[in-house]
Amino acid sequence: MIELLVLVFGVLLLGATAWCPPRVTRVLGALLFGFALGVVLRFALGVTIALVCALLASLLTFRYFPLLVLRRVLFLVPALVLLIYATTLLMYRAPGNPFANERATTPQVEAALRAQYGVPTSASAFFSVYMRRLLVEGTLGPSIKVQGRTVEELIGPAFPVSVALGSLSLLLSVSLGLGLGIVAGLRRNTAVDHLSMLLALVGVSLPNFVLGSAAMIVFSLWFGWLPVAGWGSLRHVVMPAIALSLPNAAIIARLARSGMIEVLQQDYIRTARAKGLPESWVVVRHALRGTLMPVVSFLGPAAAATMTGSFVVEVLFAVPGMGQWFVKGAINRDYSVVLGTAIVYFGLVILFNLIVDLAYAWLDPRLRSSGASP
């Protein structure tokens, strides 16, 4: 299985980036970042502007990004390509193909269809066709099942919906979690603490669709305050966003609490008090930074979890996001749609991870100069 070997080789290569010397990492990382940015911007701004932005971005990141972040870029951009390859392999391994269900599928018709849509019989061939289409022509390809529409036309309207839902819910997770966790940490072993942690435990123990359906029943059917499902107004956003945010909020609450407790035992907190600072200054100016660190570390996995959870929440509340295209595409074996949604999802999560890395480096000055990982 040559393709599997290629995959394994790719993974090993990714691992090898650990040994890349700093100078090379900086150059390659900046180049890859600019390149990826260019590919993305092309959809919105056209080739020339995208190219200019890509060059600009490369230069800026080369100069200003911490080494730590560029290392991650060096890993993640090829990883993204590898993930796309893996997805392609998976799709081809599955039984059935896009043309099997068509009515008149003689071998000649199928061959013609394949040529028309650019879907060869082997996974690797499809992968190269797809990548060439993406990089040279700047398109995600035609949808095989929805006649005459490209993938970007299909998922275009769904993209902002999913992004809105996801980001709102992450924002909620962080605010709720931090709020609860910090208060619990400051009032350790009191009723507030125990209650908060109990809430957190429940939040982490119930799947989001259970909490979501409970909310649906209570707030829509009994009280009629919020619409049951759908999308379009602020009131539609409330329940899905909250349901999606609760498990992450619970975990963040626990992290914030233990972080706060640990920070408060540090010597520099004693120094702050010895200087006569009021307790509010001690907490906000000194304790907060250290408490945020474990929370920020968690944000990467939190984004991935939000993305995972969004499939279920979108189905439950009938939100017209990208999840439906992914599921439909997979069932119909519409390879281009599946890859398109996969790229967008992966890209979003990776982008978020990079932002988190930047935030982490900004928060902890000790990381800025060295290339060490936290």
Partner 1 sequence: MTPEAKELLRIRDLSVIFTTRERTVRAVDSVSFDVRPGEVVGLVGESGCGKSVTSLSILGLHEQPAGRMTGSIRLGERELVGASPSALREVRGNRVSMIFQDPLTSLNPYLRVEEQLAEVLELHLNLRGPAARARMLEILSQVGIAGEERLRAYPHQLSGGMRQRICIAMALLCSPELLIADEPTTMLDVTIQAQILELLRSIRKQRNMSILFITHDLGVVSEICDRVIVMYAGRIVEQARTAELLHSPLHPYTEALLRSTPRVDLPGGGSLHPIGGLPPRLSAAKLQECAFVPRCPRAREGCKNGEPALTSAGGERLRRCIVPVAEMVAGR
Partner 2 sequence: MTRSPFQLAMQRLLRNRVAIVGGLLLALIAFGCVLVPVLFDLDPNLTQPALRNQPPSARFLFGTDGLGRDLVARVLVGGRTSLLVGLAATAVSVLVGVAYGSIAGFYGGKIDEAMMRLVDFMYGLPYMFLVILIMLMFSETARGDMLPVFLALGLVQWLTMARIVRGQVLALRRQEFVLAAELLGVSDARLLIRHVLPNVLGVIMVYATLMVPSVIILESFLSFLGLGVALSWGQLVSDGIAVINPIRSYWWILLWPSSFLGVTLISLNFLGDGLRDALDPKGRT
Q: List residues near partner 2 by CB under 8 A.
A: 14-19, 72, 75-76, 79, 83, 86-87, 90-91, 93-95, 201-202, 204-207, 209-210, 213-214, 216-217, 221, 258, 300-301, 303-304, 307-309, 311-312, 315-316, 326-327, 330-331, 338, 342, 345-346, 349-350, 352-353, 356, 373
Please count the CA atoms within 13 angstroms of the CA of 317 that sit on its side-chain side. 37
Whichever of 91 and 287 has its CB closer to partner 1, that residue is 287
Type of residue at 51:
L
What is d(CA 279, CA 324) in angstroms, rounded to the nearest whole number? 50
Site string for partner 1, 341-370 (x = CB under 8 A): ----------------------xxxx----
Q: Quick one: what does residue 303 bind among partner 1, partner 2, none, with the CB cut-off 5 to 8 Å set by partner type?
A: partner 2
Q: How far is the CB of 288 from partner 1 (least distance, A)?
A: 9
Among 51, 277, 330, 358, binds partner 1 (CB under 8 A): 277
Task: Look up residue 19 and give its DSSP letter.
Answer: G
Q: Quick one: what does residue 206 bind among partner 2, partner 1, none, with the CB cut-off 5 to 8 Å set by partner type?
A: partner 2
CA-based max dimension of the chain? 85
Where would I find the H helices in the chain?
A: 2-16, 22-45, 47-64, 67-93, 107-117, 123-132, 151-155, 158-186, 191-205, 208-215, 234-264, 267-274, 279-281, 288-316, 322-331, 335-363, 366-369
- Beta-carbon contacts of 313 under 8 Å, excluding residues fewer than 6 positions away, are 165, 208, 209, 212, 240, 243, 244, 319
Type of residue at 124:
S
Q: How far is the CB of 152 from partner 2 (least distance, A)?
A: 19
Binding status of residue 265 toward partner 1 by CB under 8 A? yes
Binding status of residue 289 toward partner 1 by CB under 8 A? yes
Options 29-37, 83-91, 159-167, 270-278: segment touching partner 1 (CB under 8 A): 270-278
Task: Look up residue 365 and give its DSSP letter.
Answer: T
Among 70, 170, 272, 337, binds partner 1 (CB under 8 A): 272
Neighbouring C-beta atoms of residue 352, cutoff 10 Å: 20
Whichever of 107 and 365 has its CB closer to partner 1, that residue is 365
Total residues in contact with partner 1, by rule CB under 8 A? 22
Among 259, 290, 294, 329, binds partner 1 (CB under 8 A): 290
Tokens of 166: 């996801």
Give contact residues for partner 1 (rule: CB under 8 A).
265-268, 270-278, 281, 285-286, 289-290, 363-366
